[in-house]
């Protein structure tokens, strides 16, 4: 089983739609979680951290479910500019501390 | 603000050649890491370091060496380049292994 799994999509949605992505992780000892956004052939950029209580940043809402070991990202009122690949990131404990592991990403295409 | 600087941005090698991809950060981050990203795939962790003198293998370490003699620099060495190592390589850093990462612009490497 992969350490971090995401539905690759693509999710094709019209402008203004609400879309949600899930990401599952296998190690219950993981402590930190993030969503990144990656545009074609560019470096990934931090979208938001995911906190236990859930958090919101404008049109974006992230949730964490430790019991089921998944995190989610909800995008409301989708814009054309939201088209990108969304990467789920999870920390995994190691003997040296933590390392960060990325999911393979979910492709979102917002169409007019 | 330089952030994370990767050099070179592009490189073409012949099979069997060796080379070093450079990564430097000026944010005094302890955690640094190298990823490779192949078409249609997510970022796969090659090696990471939690501080000067401490490195560990990631998911795909074979064919690559790293060292971390200073906090600022984390070079990635290809010992004998193979066509399977054609990829985009990203270096990233964070204050701790549990924190959000800052990425360099990437190195696009082709091996013929």
Digit-coded pLDDT (tens) for A52-76: 888 999 999 999 999 999 999 999 9
Structure tokens at B1: 């603000």
Cis peptide before A10 (omega within 30 of 0): yes
Looking at the DSSP bridge assignments, the partners of residue A108 are A11, A84
Nearest-by-CA chain B residue for A47: B100
Q: Which residues of A49-76 are buried (b: 16+ CB within 10 A; e: fewer)?
A: ebeeeeeeeeebbbbbeeeeebbbbebe
**pLDDT tens-place string over residues B13-35:** 999 999 999 999 999 999 999 99
Average pLDDT over residues B48-59: 94
Q: Are A105 and B104 in contact (CB under 8 A)?
A: no
Asked if residue A81 has pLDDT above 80, the reply is yes
Query: Would you state the pLDDT for residue A59?
Result: 97
Looking at the DSSP bridge assignments, the partners of residue A107 are A85
Closest CB from A45, A49, A97 relative to B50: A97
CA distances from B45 to A8, A14, A77, A84, B91 (A): 19, 34, 34, 21, 10
Asked if residue B2 has pLDDT above 80, the reply is no
**pLDDT tens-place string over residues A19-28:** 999 999 999 9
Asked if residue B62 has pLDDT above 70, the reply is yes
Asked if residue B1 has pLDDT above 70, the reply is no
Asked if residue A1 has pLDDT above 90, the reply is no
Average pLDDT over residues B44-73: 95
Nearest-by-CA chain A residue for B53: A96
Asked if residue B40 has pLDDT above 80, the reply is no
User: Tokens 């964070």 appear where?
Assistant: B94
Average pLDDT over residues A39-58: 92
Average pLDDT over residues B67-85: 96
Which residues of chain B neighbour A87 with C-beta distances below 8 Å?
42-43
Cα separation, B104 vs A44, whole angstroms:
9
Chain A with chain B: Cβ pairs closer than 8 A: 66
């Amino acid at each position: 089983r992969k350490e971090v799994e995401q539905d690759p999509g693509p999710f094709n949605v019209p402008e203004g739609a609400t879309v949600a992505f899930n990401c599952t992780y296998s190690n219950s000892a993981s402590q930190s979680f993030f969503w990144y956004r990656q545009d074609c052939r560019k470096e990934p950029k931090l979208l938001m951290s995911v906190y236990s209580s859930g958090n919101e940043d404008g049109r974006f809402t992230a949730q964490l479910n430790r019991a089921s070991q998944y995190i989610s990202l909800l995008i409301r009122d989708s814009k054309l500019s939201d088209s990108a690949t969304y990467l789920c990131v999870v920390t995994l404990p190691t003997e040296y501390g933590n390392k960060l592991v990325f999911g393979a990403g979910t492709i979102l295409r917002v169409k007019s | 603000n330089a952030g994370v600087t990767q050099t070179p941005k592009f490189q073409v090698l012949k099979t069997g050649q060796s080379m070093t991809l450079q990564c430097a950060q000026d944010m005094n981050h302890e955690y640094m890491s190298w990823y490779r990203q192949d078409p249609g795939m997510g970022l796969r962790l090659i090696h990471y370091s939690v501080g000067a003198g401490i490195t560990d293998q990631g998911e795909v370490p074979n064919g690559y060496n790293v060292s971390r003699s200073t906090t600022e620099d984390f070079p990635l060495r290809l010992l004998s380049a193979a066509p399977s190592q054609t990829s985009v390589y990203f270096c990233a850093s964070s204050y701790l292994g549990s924190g959000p990462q800052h990425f360099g612009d990437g190195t696009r490497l082709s091996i013929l």
